[in-house]
Amino acid sequence: MTGGGTAGHVTPLLAVASELKKEQKRVHIRYIGNYGDNFIHLVRNSQDFEKSYLIFAGKFRRYHKISKLVYLKNPRITLKNMRDLVLFLIGIIQSVGFLLFWRPDVIFVKGGYVGLPVGLAGALLRIPIVTHDSDAVPGLTNRILSRYSRLQAVAMPIDSYKYNRKTIRLTGLPINQDIVKITPEDQKVAKKHLGLDESNFVVSFIGGSLGALRLNNAVEQIAKQYLEGSDKRIIIHVTGKAHFQSIQDFYSTFDENIRKRIRLYSYTNDLKTLTAASDIVVSRAGSSIHELSVQQKCVILVPNPILTGGHQTKNAEIIKANNAGILVDENELQNTNGKILLDEIQALEKNSQLREGLALNLSKLAIPHATKNIVNVLLEAINRDV
């Protein structure tokens, strides 16, 4: 298995590994990540991987809807890409060495730039490859590997993808089996666990494991005004490690009555409890939307518009088209100093029927038994005639 760079790549691998161990008692699972992987500890703490290894991967830096002049004006980007091309080639050689020694029956590529050297090495050695896409727009790694992969597992509607229909499999996103539909009683329990009262109205802001600068800025701009509106309001803010200290310093300037109703986290492995306690979840439009759909939560999505291929924007547009969430454009967010986000939150807070309807529609997009579906696809790839 390979994938990395964010928790959204690694945590699905953990779920698939766990399911494989249950179904295939003699299975041996190994992981290849990249040097500097911030989430390698999640794999090494798991009992389901026999071994884990790191390679040089190299990251080709591309940005959606950004003029090519930016690359000319900022030669550091080009120089880093040239450097990482060398690292990428080293990573292929490393991967060939590992795979020659192991000769695995199948390679599962969750995505991320580390998957490309591993996948290409597997293609050279004629090892079956299965890719998985959480987003409606596949990343560069999976698009390149689609030429060599036997099957492509996907989490969003099949019509979103340009893969060969004969090799595409709708599986959903493998998530932790502890993530389940949240009933009103479950929400009360989650609030109590966080030291909150069941009468509190909780809004959580989740920027992803690495943080989201513009979303974080917007939360800072609206937090005080929102919390001043009612003593029952609570904000949960997951900042990402890079932004935590500056945001903590900012909130420390608030009056005690405001500050005590902000729960601040840099990152947490128990995100499901935070979202379970929430009445509204404000999030990027990455892989977390699959977990929120299983939990049946009311969501406001603020997609990152510059990520490669605009995949978050495409994800959010699919959610909006199904009347399953609110979409806030990041440019509008910035131009209004967060007011558009504040207005959407307050409108949803006043309309419980709308919140429940959006949450129900989002839950209809969830694909059950995704982890088992992925295991079946891996077994199919091993046994499939080329």
- What pLDDT does residue 308 have? 59
| For range 244-250, the mean pLDDT | 95
| For range 177-185, the mean pLDDT | 92
- What pLDDT does residue 33 have? 94
Does residue 242 sit in the same domain as residue 321? yes
Q: What is the CATH number of the domain that holds 267?
A: 3.40.50.2000
State pLDDT tens for residues 112-136: 889 999 999 999 999 999 999 999 9
Residue 337 CA: distances (Å) to CA of 190, 330, 331:
31, 10, 10
Residues whose CB is less than 8 angstroms from the CB of residue 95 and which lie 6 or more positions away in sequence, other chains included = 32, 55, 117, 118, 120, 121, 122
Residue at 325 is within a domain:
yes
Does residue 99 sit in the same domain as residue 228? no
Does residue 274 sit in the same domain as residue 302? yes
Distance CA(382)–CA(155), nearest Å, equals 21
Residue at 1 is within a domain:
no
Q: Assess contact for 57 and 86: CB atoms under 8 A.
A: no
Residue at 31 is within a domain:
yes
pLDDT of 146 over the 80 cut = yes
Half-sphere exposure of 156 (CA within 13 A, CB side): 25
pLDDT of 82 over the 90 cut = no
Residue at 124 is within a domain:
yes
Does residue 168 sit in the same domain as residue 241? no
Residue at 60 is within a domain:
yes
Q: Assess contact for 16 and 175: CB atoms under 8 A.
A: no
- What pLDDT does residue 288 have? 87
CA 325, 327, 332 angle in degrees (round to 5)?
A: 160
- What pLDDT does residue 269 have? 83
pTM as predicted = 0.80
Residue at 344 is within a domain:
yes
Least confident of 200-209, 248-257, 330-339: 200-209
Does residue 104 sit in the same domain as residue 163? yes
Residue at 179 is within a domain:
no
| For range 353-380, the mean pLDDT | 96
- What pLDDT does residue 94 have? 97
In terms of residue numbers, what domain contains 312?
Answer: 184-363
Residue at 228 is within a domain:
yes
pLDDT category at 72 given cuts 50, 70, 90 is: low
pLDDT of 311 over the 90 cut = no
pLDDT category at 22 given cuts 50, 70, 90 is: very high
pLDDT of 177 over the 80 cut = no
Give the total number of structural domains in the chain. Answer: 2
- What pLDDT does residue 382 have? 95
Average pLDDT score, the chain = 91
- What pLDDT does residue 332 have? 94
Helix 339-350 × helix 352-363 angle, to 10°: 100
pLDDT of 69 over the 70 cut = no
| Type of residue numbered 119 | G
Does residue 195 sit in the same domain as residue 317? yes
Does residue 158 sit in the same domain as residue 195? no
CA 280, 303, 72 angle in degrees (round to 5)?
A: 155
Does residue 145 sit in the same domain as residue 238? no
Does residue 124 sit in the same domain as residue 211? no
Q: 108 - beta bridge partners?
A: 130
Q: Assess contact for 31 and 2: CB atoms under 8 A.
A: yes
Does residue 148 sit in the same domain as residue 196? no
Distance CA(365)–CA(247), nearest Å, equals 34
- What pLDDT does residue 111 have? 87
Q: 327 - beta bridge partners?
A: 301
pLDDT of 310 over the 80 cut = no
Does residue 238 sit in the same domain as residue 312? yes
pLDDT of 54 over the 60 cut = yes
Locate tokens 């029927």: which residue? 353
Does residue 104 sit in the same domain as residue 37? yes
